[in-house]
Amino acid sequence: MKRGKTCIFCDFVAGRKEHKNNLPFEILRRTRHSLSFLAIDLPKKTKINILVIPKKHYEFLEDVPDRIMLDLMRNVKFTIRKLKKKYPSANLLLNNGKDANQMVPHVHFHIYAREKGDGFLSVEKKVMVEKNTKEFRKMHEKILGLLRD
């Protein structure tokens, strides 16, 4: 995080219930390394957007230590399991970096409760790449090279 800037999620973790923008904040669940809360910005086609964040500030997922990541994902799993009492499905979303539309530079998972036919996050058309084509092999080798480094 850049010096001089405040992180709204860090303000929430520190116990400041309202950030400078007067956004409401109430904790839904707290664990050793994470907490969850209801987001106030709801997409039009879903009724619930819960955020699960690490208590400590990490801008990118790859910076989160494994022990904290485990706690974070257990909180996500718990929340989804409890939502299933009313909502049959959920989407889990992480925007990791500005180009991925991460608006708050603090790792956070969105959990969107879903209902049949809600039309939220409809999947765009995909182009299938056949397994043994040059295109597939080229993509595979490129990614494999990145994973080896």
pLDDT of residue 2: 45
- pLDDT at residue 18 greater than cutoff 90: no
- pLDDT at residue 84 greater than cutoff 50: yes
**List of domains in the chain:** 8-123 (3.30.428.10)
Return d(Cα 99, Cα 112) in angstroms, integer: 21
The 3-state DSSP class for residue 109 equals strand
Q: Mind listing the pLDDT tens digit for each residue in 91-112?
A: 999 999 999 999 999 999 999 9
The model's pTM is 0.82
